[in-house]
């Protein structure tokens, strides 16, 4: 039986960065999603004349891409990897904003954290853009939807 364990701690329980130098380079992709809950007034502004700070959807999309690129600076044990593509979709719905991010690479480790960070940063940016109108805006349900590539293969929620 294969015993499961946390990969970012050593035998003594100390935090460590996993050594991936012996792993092969493979194509990898991960998709994450989350929501920003906002007031009906914000939805109307996003669908109409815009929020006071400007094009919130465009700024959130760009922030999500930038966030993915900065993941190893924000999450201490993440490896710096070469991102080969990041897409961020921001969809204004009747009751909130849905954010979906997909990160791609050909590297020795996955891009799940980059996709998750992308969603989180896009959500934080959306809150920054709408907070003057809706101080109760909240990020919720940030989660990994799917990943592919690497030794562990494909996974879908």
| 132 in a structural domain | yes
- Where residue 71 sits, what CATH number does that domain have? 3.30.70.640
Say how far apart CA 143 and CA 139 lie, in whole Å: 12
- Residue-level pLDDT at 1: 45
- Tell whether residue 126 is among the known ligand binding residues: no
Contact 57, 46 (CB under 8 A): yes
Distance CA 24, CA 14 (A): 26
For 100-132, write each residue's pLDDT tens digit.
999 999 999 989 999 999 999 999 999 999 999
The answer on whether 113 is annotated among ligand-binding residues is: yes
The answer to whether residue 157 is domain-embedded is no
Domain that holds residue 62: 26-148
pLDDT, tens only, 61-103: 999 999 999 999 999 999 999 999 999 999 999 999 999 999 9
State yes or no: pLDDT of 25 exceeds 80. yes
Domain count of the fold of the chain: 1
Distance between CA 128 and CA 112 in Å, rounded? 24
> Which residue in 19, 94, 98, 128 is the catalytic one?
128
What number is the average pLDDT over the span 141-153? 94
The label of the residue with tokens 């959130």 reads 60
Asked whether residue 131 is assigned to any structural domain, the reply reads yes
CB 139 within 8 A of CB 120: yes
Whether residue 17 is annotated as binding a ligand: the answer is no
Task: Give catalytic status of residue 128 as yes or no.
Answer: yes
Whether residue 18 lies inside any domain: the answer is no
Within-domain flag for 47 = yes
Q: Phi first, then psi: what are they for 63, rounded to 5°?
A: -65, -40
Grade residue 32 by pLDDT with cuts at 50, 70 and 90: very high
């Amino acid at each position: 039986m294969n015993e499961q364990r946390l990969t970012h701690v050593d035998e003594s329980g100390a935090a460590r960065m996993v050594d991936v130098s012996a792993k092969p380079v493979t194509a990898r992709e991960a998709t994450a999603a989350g929501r920003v809950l906002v007031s009906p007034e914000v939805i109307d502004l996003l669908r109409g004349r815009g929020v006071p700070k400007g094009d919130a959807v465009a700024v959130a999309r760009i922030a999500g891409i930038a966030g993915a690129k900065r993941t190893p600076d924000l999450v201490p044990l993440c490896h710096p990897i070469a991102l080969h593509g990041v897409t961020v979709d921001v969809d204004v719905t009747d009751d909130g904003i849905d954010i979906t991010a997909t990160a791609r690479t050909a590297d020795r480790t996955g891009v799940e954290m980059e996709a998750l960070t992308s969603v989180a940063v896009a959500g934080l940016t959306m809150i920054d853009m709408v907070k003057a109108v809706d101080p109760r805006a909240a990020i919720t349900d940030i989660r990994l939807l799917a990943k592919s590539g690497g030794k562990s293969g494909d996974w879908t929620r």
